[in-house]
Amino acid sequence: MSVQKKSRKPQKGGKPSSNSGSGKPSYKKTGNPKRKKTVSPKTGSGIRLNKYLADAGVASRRAADKLIESGAVTLNGEVVTRLGTKVMPGDKVQFGGQTLKQEPLRYLLLNKPKGFLTTSDDPFNRRTVMNLVEKACPERIYPVGRLDRNTMGLLLFTNDGELAKKLMHPKFMVKKIYHVFLDKNLTKNDMLSIANGVELSDGKIVPDSIAYVAGADDKKQIGIELHSGKNRVVRRIFEHFGYQVVKLDRVFLAGLTKKDLPRSKWRFLTEKEVNMLKRLG
């Protein structure tokens, strides 16, 4: 299918006060025995604490910074509040009373079939995409974004919270292409109207491109490229013009395709593909 188209280093011993006799600052001890100890940033090798938390699946780096500043994280039994703190081999990091460890980061691509919900848990015990990848790896992975129950196609899973947040953020303009099957032929005028932008209840959507699928016998098959992550956005675009989407397949996601990936099957991303995703934006 073708689609057209920075802070001063803290001083030891207390706060400086002026000393007119010597011309140099003197220091008064200001220690408070009831105050929690804090850990100063380590230098040299090691991994930044916010990244350690992100790799352990606690939160994204930005959210981890807030947890650190709030005093919710301890390093070797002492509260850490300074950003930039390094975790060295053998260090013990705890959050919420639990000792954390870095998990290997996993990146998995699924060719989702119809009839599965994109959620990590369903209270009504309906089939979810997690049923399809539950034996993929020991680490707990999560879907990045969503596809509605009856939409098929590419869905990414990872335990890399930082990358997941990036891929879902509108400013990174992650490219998605959908193969749309309609209940009737799409008129040229309606296609032009969609290309110029559609005003939906939650804002205007302007596709990056839209075209009839090359080689199709009719004009019911459409290729549409867009970067919006709004709920059911493709279906709502066509419903706005009186069409029903009878089949919807996401065939391209952030540079990834369905090549050699049958329906309901998954595969791990290559190192090259992971690096490509991390370079987006």
Kindly state whether residues 123 and 234 are assigned to the same domain: no
Q: Look at residue 9 and tell me if it is in a domain.
A: no
Q: Look at residue 30 and tell me if it is in a domain.
A: no
Kindly state whether residues 195 and 232 are assigned to the same domain: yes
pTM: 0.70
CATH code for the domain of 214: 3.30.70.1560
Kindly state whether residues 189 and 247 are assigned to the same domain: yes
Kindly state whether residues 84 and 199 are assigned to the same domain: no
Q: Look at residue 147 and tell me if it is in a domain.
A: yes
pLDDT of residue 250: 98
Kindly state whether residues 114 and 219 are assigned to the same domain: no
Q: How many helices (H) and strands (E) does the chain have?
A: 7, 19
Weakly modelled stretches of the chain, pLDDT under 70: 1-45, 281
Burial of 72 (0-12, 13-18, 19+ CB in 10 A): middle
Residues assigned a catalytic role: 148
Q: Look at residue 4 and tell me if it is in a domain.
A: no
Q: Which residues contact 222 (CB under 8 A, 6 or more apart)?
A: 179, 180, 182, 186, 191, 210, 211, 212, 213
The two three-digit tokens of residue 22, written as one number: 């010597």
CATH code for the domain of 66: 3.10.290.10
Task: Please state, in angstroms and rounded to a whole number, the distance separating the CA atoms of residues 15 and 7.
Answer: 15
CATH code for the domain of 118: 3.30.70.580
Kindly state whether residues 182 and 76 are assigned to the same domain: no
Kindly state whether residues 217 and 236 are assigned to the same domain: yes
pLDDT of residue 267: 98
pLDDT of residue 76: 93
Q: Look at residue 16 and tell me if it is in a domain.
A: no
Kindly state whether residues 185 and 249 are assigned to the same domain: yes
Q: Look at residue 212 and tell me if it is in a domain.
A: yes
Question: What are the φ/ψ torsions at residue 130 (nearest 5 degrees)?
Answer: -65, -25
Q: In the chain, which ranges are E strands?
A: 15-17, 26-28, 47-48, 73-75, 78-80, 86-87, 93-95, 98-99, 107-112, 142-143, 151-158, 176-182, 198-200, 203-205, 209-212, 221-226, 245-253, 256-257, 266-268
Kindly state whether residues 270 and 229 are assigned to the same domain: no
Which range marks the domain in which residue 163 is found?
Answer: 107-169+259-279
**Structure letter (DSSP) for residue 171:** G
Kindly state whether residues 141 and 268 are assigned to the same domain: yes
Count of domains for the chain: 3
Q: Which residues contact 197 (CB under 8 A, 6 or more apart)?
A: 204, 205, 206
Residues 10 and 40: beta-carbon distance below 8 Å: yes
Q: Look at residue 43 and tell me if it is in a domain.
A: yes
Kindly state whether residues 152 and 272 are assigned to the same domain: yes
Kindly state whether residues 120 and 141 are assigned to the same domain: yes
Q: Look at residue 242 and tell me if it is in a domain.
A: yes
pLDDT of residue 45: 64
Residues 133 and 108: beta-carbon distance below 8 Å: yes
* Domain endpoint, select from 48, 80, 99: 99
Q: How far is CA 9 from CA 29, 41, 42, 72, in A?
A: 17, 10, 12, 23
How far is it between the farthest Cα atoms of the chain? 94
